[in-house]
Structure 1
Amino acid sequence: MKNLSYILICILIVLTASCAHAADSSYHLTAKKGLLDLRSASIGEDEISFSGEWAFYWQQLLTPDSLEHFKPRYTAFPALWNNTIINGKTLPAKGYATYALTVLLPPDSKPLAINIPDVYSSYRLYVNGKVIAENGKPGRSADDSQPWWSNEMRTIAPGTDTLRIVWQIANFSHAKGGAAQTISIAEKDSVIYRKDQSTAFSFLLTGCLFMGGMFFLGLYIFGRYDKTLLLFSLFCITYSYRIVGADPYSLHTFIQGTPWWITTRLEYLSLYFSEFLFTLYVLNLYPAQASRAVSSVIAVICALFCVSVFVLPAYIFTMLIKVFLGFSLVNMLYTLYVFSSAVRKKMTGSVYSLGGAVILVLVFVYIGLAYIQQFKANEAFVIIGYILFFFLQSLILSYRFAHNLKKAKRVAEKALLAKSQFLSTMSHEIRTPLNAVIGLTHLMLKNDPRKDQEEELKIMLFSANNLLSIVNDILDYNKIEAGKIHFECIETDMHSIVKNIAGGFKTYAEEKGIQLECSTDETLDVTVLADPTRMSQVLTNLVHNAIKFTARGSVKITVAAEQRNTNTITLRFTVKDSGIGIPAEKQRIIFDQFTQADSSTSRSFGGTGLGLSICKSILEKQGVTMQLVSEEGIGTEFYFVQTFPVCKKIAQDKKPVTVSNARPLEGISILLVEDSEFNIVVATRFLQSWGAEIEVAQNGQEALDKFNEAKHQLILMDLHMPVMDGRDATIELRKQGTKVPIIALTASIYADENDKVIACGANDVVIKPFEPESLRNKLLHYLKIAS
């Protein structure tokens, strides 16, 4: 706030100095009876104005040769005809006249130049009998006249001691007539410098405003579609024309062929429409502080002024400018009130908005005073004021954009967290009943069902596993998207992985009449350090897709060693099919999430379209690229090449370990902590079939009450339960000094969540739905360690 006060004080000082300079520059030397004697003056860098009493010939367009035939009147110059009284009557704005002045210059003066302002609304200027400048075409009627506005500069020939000026001025188009500013003279270099400086300032500020407007328009289009950004960008773009299209009319110097009726309408329209946009901008910037009714009224009035530019002749709509300036001052005061209210409410960036509004009011008041009092405004002050205003408004919008971006980020993070929590919950809710379905199906298949029942049970088991695969795909993709995927680095036998995958899909392939082949390089005689779970997941997805999209022929899985040294081995994994193939134009999109080659494929073959996306993401996380070769109607080949650290040689006589004892848990007492009746039935049936004695607790507190370390040799602990969950129960058991192995049962597949379970004191985690053999082997492993 202190910085803002300092800026405003500086602006007031500059404003006072500018007004003083404007006033002083008008009264250095004064013409008397059509003569300005500068012979004793020192003409230097400061301009000397030709103001004073000029010879005046109303309703006459005289040339230098014809002046001697007419008797002049003398009148104050510069002055608008609307403010000039002749014979007790105020002159009308429409008409034509000739002004004459003789200027005596000092001898041996430096090279000089005169600065010629625009007039209302056309002129022809003679100096020493020659036409040196012309704006439009002055005539005796509207048909003969052609209006135009531009500021001109002309040099004076060296050695000139007298300037006989004849200035023809005509107006039939504007609400004002005559000259608002006078000619001035100074050193040539100084006049040229000021002219170029004025033009450069105008185009520099215009460029800054236009590019700033385009920048905020880009933020609106590619950002969050904040309407405030759109309104401010349009305001900047619209007002940028006003900088070069209004006094000092820098743009007109370069586009003199454009009709005056177009340029003057653009000048006024840019002013009216800018105020319309700024009003809506203020309303959208602080809607709680601005009155929608008041803002709507102001906007409608601005719109009416805009319409007047199109439907009314220039003489009429230019007459309304004083009304608009008064209205604009009221609007500025209202804007100050809105911004002040925002400051009191401590709204985001409101101090900058208020500071910018105060500066803009000062600039407008200054321009209005220059317009009414007919002095030339200091361009430097006006430009600095505009720059400060637009800078402060840009600052508040940038701050607002950054604030909204941070807010959107927080909302997105909350949404991502909510999504993760939702998927975690749905994982538990879906996988828990699936555990019962898959488990009971396994049990029924072990009970020697009839042949027809066995086929139906296998179909049911396949469908349940397919549903589980879909759930896993969705959860896996969410994990990858959230950056929660972790890779293990353990000893892995690639032969076993490929053979197990081929064995798992053997029945599926046979049902479709497809030959499933498996080939591993004989030179691959070592184990490697890899993540067997993720490798299996990638190959399983590829093989499943290959079988699904192959109606006849074969699917072949190949692992070949491409490069090898003492420490590493590079393997090429290939899954090739003779299926439908993928069109060339679709091959780039099939790795996108939820995408298949076309909608008919999705209807015919089903699936989430996540499998390939997951494979691609898993491999990319390890620095590996999935490759594709396919021809429509011929088949598809997916392959990738990955390098692994070598672990050790594979024993040639290694045989798979089988469990010969049908009841390996004979005499083992297990405390099963589970709240789902279906899962209790499934787990109990399996455990009892392996010979274990089971005691059931349906929540954590009940488990604490029932646990007997002398009796129970192992605890199977579900995590999500009423009264007390599995984590708290595990923590409490470990606090009591229990050394019995605790294996957690969970439906969550998130590694970080399962790591927390281990941190609570559990020995291991079994994910539901579980494979019976996997659960049995894990139980035997921890029972062996405990014994």
Structure 2
Amino acid sequence: MKSRFFSGKTRNPFFYFLFGLLAFSPLGCSILTSEPTDSLPAVARQGVLDLRRVNLDQKIVSLNGIWKWYWHALRNPGDPAIPFEYSPFPEIWNSQTWKGQPLPSYGYATYALTVVLPPRHPPLALKLPDAYTTYRLFLNGRELARSGTPGTSRETTTPFWSTQLKAIPEKADTLHLLLQIANFHHARGGPYKAILLGQADALTVKISREFALNFLLTGCLFMGGLFFLGLYLFGRHETSILYFSLFCLLYSYRIIGTDQYALHSIFHQLDWSVTLHLEYLTLFLSIAVFTFYTRSLYPADVHKRFVTGLAWVCLGFAGVTILFPPIVFTQLIRPFLALMPIYIGYAFYVYWVAARRKRPGAEYSLMSTAVLLAVFVIIIFKYFQIAFPENLVLFIGYIGFFFLQSLVLSFRFAFTLKQAKEQAEDGLRAKSEFLSTMSHEIRTPLNAVIGMTHLLLQDKPRTDQKQHLDVMLFSAKNLLHIVNDILDFNRIEAGKTTLEEIPMDPAAILHNVISSYQSAAHEKSLTLSLSIDPSWKGKVMGDPTRLAQVISNLVHNAIKFTIQGQVRVSLAVVEQTGQDVTLTITIEDTGIGIAPEKQELVFNRFTQADSSMSRSYGGTGLGLTICRRILELQNVVLQLQSEPGKGSRFFFTQSFRKMTVPPESQTEHQPLSKAKPLKDVCILLVEDNAMNVLLAKSILERLGASVDVAGNGQEAVDQLDSTKHRLVLMDLQMPVMDGYEATRIIRDRNETLPIIAVTASLAQEVGDRAQVAGLNEILVKPYNPTSLMQAILRHLNLPG
């Protein structure tokens, strides 16, 4: 195999078709109408090449023409004269005759040429290509070079291929060349490449540049193949990436293992049979892999059976190459050359169809196949001595082909990544919508459960009844706590969490949290205590809701994982000035503790230190994750010190800006007023859930209010009478007409009475829409009776 795509010299009509096609193209015109700049049309005649009038300082001469030829003779310098014929050089034996009889590919011969040099010439050298399948060159009676060992039989012949550069003695004015060639191992025999004569430095630069380009291109392909192979193994398991990586790796050998045989010039001991097997195997397998690559790249645009058949033909050729010696498998090149236009033409067709159907990266595939076709034609022209493009032209062609194919995969990868990103975003949106819907659906019945439980507790139940009601309230709040954790984490993950900056009292927040968990601690016989630094006095600016959430989660965790002993919460002043204060808040317990190697694990979402804890203690595994994320939003670090069996200590240090305005007191557990503060107040309740209507009416009537009920927004718009109704409690999600639209219509009628949204959705989710619609406040379900009372009194400017 004597080129990157094929070996041997053959007269295939398809090549003449390509020649005619390219000859009328701009590229063909530029190649075919220009004489190579590094050669002269000096031709040997009757075994003599006269270069006396050639300036060898600037020119490189091909020793082509008519040489003396001795068939079945390996002549040495000084041998007696024997009959000879004249033969064109270079020319393979398959296309020649000896004494009028056609010759086989197998045999041996000697070629002789006399080169007459100009009287004055620079230091010269010969560039000696490979031949089928071995040669030995004598210059002026002495051996100058050899590639393998020519012999008169298969046993005495050692084939080898290499490109060599040999210097010529400076004082020589005439060169007597005697070239022995033998072949008993290949389907073709004889010389097929020109020997070049020229200035030694110029030829050295030429061959060094060719080798450098070969090694550079090989390195690019090999590393590119490894990159795509790694991308397939460790990234996306897409078969097109695997096939392209294999194609790059296989074809990288063909750059240095064929044509100039750069690899052989370095490793002179390579076994010729092994390298020839590799040469043919990499050709057949690379085309088969490229066919599979095309099929996997655009499966909807190929005829799968036809493409599979083409690939298996190449695999069959590869099988023959593995199982048989070179004398057999080298004959496969003729049918393979006949198939090559079908492979390239069909690939071009597939990519054209894919481009028309706007497949990802199909335009690059189409361009790369056009480049591959151009490279293929150029190699054919070069091989048949039709054109003499620089190796740089082929190098640029190869780089262009592999670069465009890499763009195809990169484009597909980016396109797939974009699709995956969009799908993930759609999934996140669907998850958020699902959680929001579930929140609403869970909070709606919880509102009735918690609200009714509060009312029953205020009706002075018996001791046994109070105990049952406490369990009911605790369980409902626990369920609400789980729902809140999941929704909070979802908002944090989506980056929708916002922090307030309002006046607050951290000490008061700690008091409230401790008070709310005293009953839970008492049930487990635990001591829950609070310690406030005596030096702390004042108010700060911050987010009281988020601070309370963090402390609540930490206290809740401490109580849950403490079997006996105590839970201690403390607030310590680290540093304070007239404007700022730095506080450390600590939650310590005497619970089960956490092993050092698992302390970071507990901050991961849905994770606990021991998987069995989810069965023993319950919970979502989100509490600590939410605490850490909320504090990280404020550039605060939640720290942990723990020892198994002795307890845990969670603490964080945070700086606040001082504020003199006191925060509003929290009165969540304050009982309803007995003075009926809403006497003579008529309220329009807009609610579609019967249980929540019953709860709200019970609370409002206990406060002295009269209540009109509307089942949806449209009924609310129709029933509202501003001369009668002092305030509207508006649910947001209702059939027929939702609360937003109803409020907007009411405001368009210039109604100014307070409208309070009572919704199972989170305030952060509906805040913007509620403000635009004209709602005055948002009360989130489940609410307790006191919260509802205080919201109404606040908007009616009534005393509690």
TM-score (norm 1): 0.93
Distance 1:43 1:632, change over 3 A: same
Counterpart for residue 681 of structure 1: 694
Give the structure 2 partner of residue 602 of structure 1: 614
State the Cα distance separating 1:465 from its structure 2 match.
Answer: 1.0
Question: How much does 1:691 deviate?
Answer: 2.1
> Which residue is 1:482 aligned to?
494
Give the counterpart of 2:477 among 445, 449, 465: 465
1:164 aligns with 2:176: yes
Larger deviation, residues 716-725 vs 167-176? 167-176
SS in 1 for 2:715: helix
1:5 aligned partner: none
Task: Report the alpha carbon displacement of residue 408 of structure 1 after superposing the two structures with TM.
Answer: 2.8
Structure 2: unaligned runs, 5 residues or longer:
1-20
Structure 1 distance, partners of 2:537, 2:450, is 36
Alpha-carbon shift at residue 287 of structure 1 (Å)? 2.6
Superposed counterparts of 1:428-447, under 5 Å: 428-447=440-459
Distance 1:391 1:486 in 2: 47
Residue 635 and residue 643 in structure 1: after superposition, are their counterparts in 2 closer, same or farther (change >3 A)?
Answer: same
Q: Residues of 1 paired with 2:39 and 2:541: CA distance?
A: 91
Match of 1:672 among 685, 689, 705: 685
CA distance in 1, matches of 2:669, 2:477: 25
1:705 paired residue number: 718
Which residue of 2 is the match for residue 266 of structure 1?
Answer: 278
Counterpart CA distance in 1 for 2:91 and 2:412 is 48
> Which of 160, 171, 191 in structure 1 is aligned with 2:203?
191
Superposed, which structure 2 residues align to 1:208-607 within 5 Å?
208-221=220-233, 224-371=236-383, 378-607=390-619
Q: Counterpart in 2 of 1:737?
A: 750
What does residue 125 of structure 2 align with?
A: 113
CA distance in 1, matches of 2:88, 2:622: 87
Distance (whole Å) between structure 1 residues aligned to residue 712 and residue 406 of structure 2: 61
Q: Report the counterpart of residue 4 of structure 1 in structure 2.
A: none
Q: Please, which of 134, 138, 144 is the counterpart of residue 146 of structure 2?
A: 134
Offset, 1:735: 1.3
Cα 1:183/1:548, change in 2 over 3 Å: same
Q: Corresponding residue for 1:773? A: 786
Which of 632, 642, 648 is equivalent to 1:636?
648
**In structure 1, distance between residues paired with 2:640 and 2:142:** 84
Q: CA deviation at 1:277?
A: 2.0
Q: Structure 2 vs 1, CA of residues 786 and 34 (structure 1 numbering), >3 Å: closer, same or farther?
A: farther
3-state DSSP of counterpart to 1:144 = coil
**Distance in 2 (alpha carbons) for counterparts of 1:314 and 1:438:** 89
Q: Secondary structure at the match of 2:660?
A: strand
Q: Counterpart amino acid of 2:597? A: E
The range that moved more, 661-670 or 245-254, is 661-670
- AA at the equivalent of 1:405: L
CA displacement at 1:753 relative to structure 2:
1.8
Q: CA distance change for structure 1 residues 133 and 374 in 2, over 3 Å: closer, same or farther?
A: farther
- The answer as to whether partners of 1:238 and 1:273 remain within 8 angstroms in 2 is yes
User: Could you tell me how far apart the structure 1 residues matched to 2:25 and 2:393 are?
Assistant: 10
Counterparts of 1:569 and 1:290, CA distance in 2: 72
Distance in 2 of aligned mates of 1:502 and 1:365: 85
Query: Is the CA contact 1:181–1:375 (under 8 Å) kept in the aligned structure 2?
Result: no
Asked whether the 8 Å contact 1:493–1:526 carries over to 2, the reply is: yes
Q: What does the per-residue CA deviation read over 1:150-170, in whole Å, with 9 as the maximum and x for residues that have no partner?
A: 111111222221222222222
The one-letter code matched in structure 2 to 1:50 is L
Task: Please report how far the alpha carbon of residue 348 of structure 1 lies from its aligned counterpart in structure 2 after TM superposition.
Answer: 4.1
Deviations 1:647-689 (A, max 9, x none): 12879x9999977841332332211110001111111112222
Indicate conservation of the 8 Å contact 2:672/2:785, yes or no: no
Match in the other structure for 1:174: 186
Change beyond 3 A, Cα 1:655–1:289: closer
Q: Which stretch has the larger CA shift, 289-298 or 762-771?
A: 289-298
SS at match of 1:558: strand
For residues 744-764 of structure 1, the C-alpha deviation after alignment (integer angstroms, 9 at most, x for no partner) is 011111514223212211110
1:483 Cα deviation from its structure 2 partner? 0.8
Deviates more, 1:210-219 or 1:47-56: 210-219
Structure 1: gaps spanning 5 or more residues: 1-7
Give 1:488's aligned amino acid: E
The amino acid that maps onto 1:627 is Q
8 Å contact from structure 2 (residues 71, 98) kept in 1? no
- Aligned equivalent of 2:628: 616
Say which of 773, 776, 789 aligns to 1:760: 773
Distance across 1 between alignment mates of 2:251 and 2:72: 38
In structure 1, the residue matched to 2:10 is none
Give SS of 2:56's match.
coil
Mapped contact 1:239–1:274 kept (Cα < 8 A): yes
- Distance in structure 2 (CA, Å) of the matches to 1:242 and 1:654: 81
Aligned residues: 778
Is 1:714–1:742's contact at 8 Å kept on the other side of the alignment? Answer: yes
Kept in 2: contact 1:731–1:761 (CA 8 A): yes
Q: Retained in 2: the 8 A contact 1:26–1:51?
A: no
Contact 1:436 1:679 in 2 (8 A): yes
Q: Deviations over 1:449-471 (max 9, x none)?
A: 33222222211211111111111
Distance 1:468 1:728, change over 3 A: same
How far off its partner does 1:48 sit? 0.9
| Aligned residue type for 1:407 | Q
SS, match of residue 55 in structure 2: coil
1:562 Cα deviation after fit: 0.7
Aligned to 1:79: 91
1:9 and 1:74 map into 2 onto residues whose CA distance is: 34
Supply the AA of the counterpart residue of 2:567.
Answer: V
Letter in 2 for 1:532: P
Farther off after superposition, 322-331 or 94-103:
94-103
SS in 2 for 1:779: helix
| 1:718-733 pair list within 5 angstroms | 718-733=731-746
SS class of match (1:720): coil
Of 638, 647, 666, the match for 2:659: 647
**Partner residue in 1 for 2:17:** none
Which residue identity lines up with residue 697 of structure 1 in the other structure?
Answer: A
Query: What amino acid does structure 2 have at the position aligned with 1:46?
Result: K
Query: Are 2:46 and 1:33 aligned?
Result: yes
SS of match in other structure, 2:475: helix
**How far apart, in 2, do the equivalents of 1:445 and 1:326 lie?**
94
Distance 1:97 1:14 in 2: 39
Which 10-residue stretch deviates more, 281-290 or 555-564? Answer: 281-290
Deviates more, 1:442-451 or 1:513-522: 442-451
CA distance, structure 2, for counterparts of residue 23 and residue 755 of structure 1: 76
- The 1-side partners of 2:348 and 2:43 are apart by 42
Contact 1:528 1:644 in 2 (8 A): yes
> 2:438 is aligned with what amino acid?
M
Q: Find the residue that maps to 1:53 and give its secondary structure.
A: strand
Which one of 736, 741, 759 corresponds to residue 746 of structure 1? 759
Once residues 56 and 450 of structure 2 are traced to their aligned partners in structure 1, the CA distance between those partners, rounded to angstroms, is 105
